Amino acid sequence: MSGFIKILIVFAVSSIKFLIAPALGFSMGLTFIQTWLSTTAGGISGVFVFFFLSRWFLLLYTRYFAFYTHKFRTKVYGFLNKEIPKFSPAKKFTKRNRFIIKAVRKYGLVGIVFLTPILLSIPVGTFLATRYYSANRFLLVYLSISVLFWSLFMSSAISLF
């Protein structure tokens, strides 16, 4: 397998599952610089892709799904001359959901940005940051700096051991 294909594989893996990308790069025989650059570029491109996909998804949800759900309930209960009940579906809390809620409440934007590449994964962390902190105009910069830091840290740690 050529070096360019190896770099592309590490790039693609780091854009989705960042935690294993530096180890994958070194196990494929890439140098420190190749591994660091490919994981950084892949992680930052993943942040950008999932940031704009999250914004698009949230826009579609608020524009269509939430509106039609309320419109449907208004039509049904208005026809029956009854008050619209407050509908809240039963929420299922898993360990991961509890962890995410604690991180958002306790650490805020800094916690989400810091934990995104490692524990939350880039798609989930970027979605959460976009969902709760989209008004922050430096959000993409913060997420990119976090990916850069973790890429350098993990590549250095793995190359030393």
The full DSSP string for 80-122 is TT-PPP---PPPP--HHHHHHHHHHHHHHHHHHHHHIIIII-H
Looking at residue 40, what is its pLDDT?
A: 95
Looking at residue 76, what is its pLDDT?
A: 47
Structure tokens at 72: 């449907």
The list of the chain residues with pLDDT below 70 reads: 65-91
Instruction: Calculate the CA dihedral of residues 23, 25, 28, 32 and round it to 10 degrees.
Output: -110
How far is C-alpha 104 from the chain's CA centre? 13
The range of the structural domain enclosing residue 61 comes to 3-160
Looking at residue 72, what is its pLDDT?
A: 52
For the entire predicted model, the pTM comes to: 0.77
pLDDT digits (tens, 9 = 90+) for 33-52: 999 999 999 999 999 999 99
Q: How far apart are CA 29 and CA 107, in angstroms?
A: 38
| CA distances, 36 to each of 85, 103, 128, 153, 158 (Å) | 54, 28, 26, 9, 11
Of the candidates 26, 77, 43, the residue with the CA atom closest to the CA atom of residue 150: 43
DSSP state of 17: -
**SS3 at position 53:** helix
Q: How far apart are CA 11 and CA 8, in angstroms?
A: 5
Q: How many structural domains does the chain have?
A: 1
